[in-house]
Structures are given as C-alpha cells and as structure tokens.
C-alpha cells in the first residue's frame, strides 16, 4: 500500500449553488419533521439564473410552503444582487402528496427488538463510514482544512471583515503524506467571488484572503504552510458575483464534500433532502459512528466501514472493515466485533440517534445545518453519530 503521496480535497461555501440546493432541500425536511416526526419526504432542488425549481414528494400530516422555504434560505445565505435574490427570483414547485405508509408510522422508542427486526429498508444501498487520527475530529486533514477555510470565507463576509465578498466560493487543500500521515501543505487554492467588478483589485483581494482566511485558519493547526507551499487565490482573475447567475446548482451533487473529500469512499447517493427512513442517508451516519469508535478505541489508526443493504431486509447483508494495515486485529475480526456491538437496522439507527426528533429539539432546524460544511466530523454541532461511547465496549 502506498505510504508517501499528496492528496487534495475541496470544499465550498454555503453560497455555492449546489450547497444552496442542499440547504433548501434539508430545510424542507426539517419543516416536515417539526410538524410530523413520522413524515416521509424527498425534496430535490435545482437553481440557475433568477430561478429555483423544487420537486417534493411527501406523506405527512403537515403543510410546508416550499417556495417560502427556498426564499428564506436564499435570503439567509446572502444573495442580494439583481440576477439572483429572494425577492425577484422565480420559484417553481412540483409537489406530489403520496398516500400514507402506515407500516412506517412506528414509534421507535416503544419497539421491541423483534419489531425492529421486522422493519426492513425500502431502498438498496451500499454506504461507507471512515475515521482516522489526522485531526481532532477524526477526519482526513485535506477536507478538514478545506472546510475550515470555506467556513472562514463565510464568516469574514457576514461579519464585515471582508464585506465585498459574495456568497459563492470554493477552497482546495493539497496535503503531503509520509508513511500515511500528513507532513506538509503542498497547495492551497481559493476561488472567491466578489460583489463588485472594480473593488477590490486583485492584489488587495489576495492579500486580504491570505491574512483574514488562510493565516487565521492555520494559526491553530500543527501543520502549516511553508515557503514551498503554493498558494492560489483567484488564479484566473476576478470572479464577480458567482452563484446561480454563473453556474447552476443541484441537490446531492457534492457528496464527497459532504463526507471525506474522496480520501475515503462514499456511496455517491445524495445525503440531503431525505427523511430519516432513507437508509442511504442514515446508514452513512451509522457507518461513520462505527468507524470513529474503532479508531477512538485504538483498534486502528484508520478505519473504513462498509454496509450493504438489500430491499426487504432489516440488517445489512454485508459488513466489511478496512483498516489499511493499521488494525490491531484482523479486519475480519473487527467486522464481527462491529456487527456484535452496533445496531445497523433502520429502526435501530433512527432510535439511537433520535433522527426524527432532532429537527424539533435543535433550534433553527437540524438537517439544514448539515447541508453545508459536512455531514460528518463536525465540532460545531453535537451530532449523535460523532459520539465515541462504544470505546469501552470494543476494547
């Protein structure tokens, strides 16, 4: 297995068109679950210049104004220019109310183990969870740094430190590895849009971002850029406005950014816009939970957990573990250990993480906050799948 290499990961701000769509979709999920914890909903969104399209399918005792949700998110993200804003953009909706599925209107907190066993998944999926010791959040360093810079770009815009920035931006970090551990920062790239064409100039923009974003992010990091690090800020010139006026967006198109920045595998299925009964969403959270607890228990330096589900069955038909040669026991033994101590059944996952209650108990909604800067490895949110409460059980 290769031990010395360079790896890059990218992130985007909440104003990127794809992430805008993810936030709209997950805000719709939040609104339904806040009214009806048993709601089943799929919400997908597309944006382009001056237009938003929302497709929603739901079965719920709830009413959600999807057009209003879209406009609220556009306004919150900060799109105010004439080509795209919450007031003048057209919002088209295609909404289908589905017949209620009484089979899935269960109260997961009052189910017996036998009843949990009899609640199958309705979708086939293969999902992945990953954890490693590269960062405090047990995340790969490239995506960790890319997310931090993307969040910082939003902070300096909203706090008025760099008020000329527009909401849309992209970051990328290349990290050099030796013996599969980070050893240096190879490349930093930032594409930041600005609200006006003439102000600021390119030199000032690059200087401001270096000081307010890059330097600020790396101030608390152990591995920092050095004289060999290549830094690019808008290398092809100014980007004015950006956002849907420049490139279209779609729900679920940033799954690598939502997970591990391609350092580990992901299913490719969208995470946003789906209620907690979708195993291709919540199974990914359960797999991350297992992988993180394995690494936290010092059973491996890196761990990837793969769960494969078939329609009509409650349990995954396959549980695979890969520790990339870092495991303290054979991967096959770890697979058996994980299968014994983690409940990967749909109703079990929903119950343990309280996934249908979180939008109500979390101020401002829950799933919409996951829709930018990652569904895993978050230190700014108390995510139930990030808890390492199985360490003593696994040892």
Query: Binning pLDDT at 50, 70 and 90, where does residue 240 land?
Result: confident
Tell me the pLDDT tens digit for each residue of 262-274.
999 999 899 999 9
Query: Binning pLDDT at 50, 70 and 90, where does residue 285 land?
Result: very high
331-341 helix and 279-296 helix, angle to the nearest 10 degrees: 120
How many of the other CB atoms lie within 10 Å of CB of 223? 16
| β 5-12/165-178 pair status | antiparallel
pLDDT score of 245: 86
pLDDT score of 267: 92
Answer with the residue of higher pLDDT: 35 or 201: 35
Rounded mean pLDDT of 146-161? 97
Distance CA 91, CA 98 (A): 22
Tell me the pLDDT tens digit for each residue of 289-312.
999 999 999 999 999 999 999 999
Query: Binning pLDDT at 50, 70 and 90, where does residue 241 land?
Result: confident
Tell me the pLDDT tens digit for each residue of 350-395.
999 999 999 999 998 999 999 999 999 999 999 999 999 999 999 8
Which residues have CB under 8 Å from 391's CB, separation 6+? 293, 296, 297
pLDDT score of 2: 80
For the record, the structure tokens of 213 come out as 């974003």
pLDDT score of 346: 96
Partnered with residue 206 across adjacent β-strands are none
For the record, the structure tokens of 235 come out as 């290398």
Distance CA 86, CA 73 (A): 8
Tell me the pLDDT tens digit for each residue of 72-114.
999 999 998 888 999 999 999 999 999 887 777 888 999 999 9
How many of the other CB atoms lie within 10 Å of CB of 107? 10
pLDDT score of 104: 78
Tell me the pLDDT tens digit for each residue of 58-70.
999 999 999 999 9
Of the chain, the percentage scoring pLDDT greater than 70 comes to 99
pLDDT score of 265: 94
Tell me the pLDDT tens digit for each residue of 208-237.
999 999 999 999 899 999 999 999 999 988
**Dihedral angle computed from the Cα positions of residues 246, 252, 254 and 259, in that order, rounded to the nearest 10 degrees:** 160
pLDDT score of 1: 63
DSSP H helical ranges for the chain:
17-35, 66-77, 113-117, 141-158, 202-209, 215-218, 255-258, 279-296, 331-341, 346-353, 358-361, 367-370, 391-394
**Residue 13 in contact with residue 372, Cβ under 8 Å?**
yes
Rounded to 5 degrees, what are φ and ψ at 47?
Answer: -130, 150
Mean predicted lDDT score pLDDT of the chain: 95
Answer with the residue of higher pLDDT: 238 or 31: 31
Domains of the chain, CATH where assigned: 5-10+141-241 (3.30.300.10), 125-134+278-394 (3.30.300.10)
pLDDT exceeds cutoff 90 at 196: no
Radius of gyration over every alpha carbon of the chain, rounded to an integer in angstroms: 21
pLDDT exceeds cutoff 70 at 123: yes
């Amino acid at each position: 297995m290769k031990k010395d290499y360079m790896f890059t990961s990218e992130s985007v701000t909440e104003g990127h068109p794809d992430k805008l769509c993810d936030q709209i979709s997950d805000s719709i999920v939040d609104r339904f679950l806040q009214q009806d914890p048993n709601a089943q909903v799929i919400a997908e969104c597309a944006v382009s210049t001056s237009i938003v399209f929302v497709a929603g399918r739901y079965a719920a005792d709830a009413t959600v104004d999807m057009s209003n949700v879209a406009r609220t998110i556009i306004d919150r993200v900060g799109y105010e220019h004439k080509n795209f804003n919450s007031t003048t953009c057209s919002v088209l909706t295609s909404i289908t109310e589905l017949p209620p599925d009484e089979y899935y209107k269960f109260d997961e907190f009052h189910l017996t183990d036998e009843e949990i066993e009899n609640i199958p998944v309705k979708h086939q999926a293969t999902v992945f969870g990953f954890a490693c010791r590269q960062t405090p959040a047990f995340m790969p360093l490239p995506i960790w740094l890319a997310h931090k810079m993307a969040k910082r770009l939003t902070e300096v815009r909203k706090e008025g430190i760099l008020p000329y920035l527009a909401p849309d931006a992209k970051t990328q970090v290349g990290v050099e590895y030796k013996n599969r551990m980070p050893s240096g920062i190879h490349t930093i790239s930032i594409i930041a849009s600005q609200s006006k064409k003439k102000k600021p100039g390119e030199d000032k923009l690059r200087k401001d971002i270096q000081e307010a974003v890059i330097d600020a992010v790396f101030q608390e990091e152990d591995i920092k850029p050095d004289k060999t690090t290549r830094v690019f800020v808008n290398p092809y010139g100014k980007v004015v406005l950006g956002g849907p006026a420049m490139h279209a967006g779609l729900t679920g198109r940033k799954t690598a950014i939502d997970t591990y920045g391609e350092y580990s595998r992901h299913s490719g299925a969208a995470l946003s816009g789906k209620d907690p009964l979708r195993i291709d969403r919540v199974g990914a959270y359960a797999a991350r939970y297992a992988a993180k607890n394995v690494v936290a228990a010092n059973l491996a330096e890196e761990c990837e957990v793969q769960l494969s589900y078939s329609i009509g069955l409650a349990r995954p038909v396959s549980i695979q573990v890969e520790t990339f040669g870092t495991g303290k026991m054979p991967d096959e033994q770890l697979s058996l250990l994980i299968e014994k101590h983690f409940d990967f059944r749909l109703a079990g996952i929903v119950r343990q993480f309280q996934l249908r209650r979180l939008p109500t108990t979390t101020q401002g909604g829950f799933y919409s906050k996951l829709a930018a800067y990652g569904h895993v490895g978050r230190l700014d949110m108390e995510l139930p799948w990030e808890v390492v409460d199985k360490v003593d059980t696994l040892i």
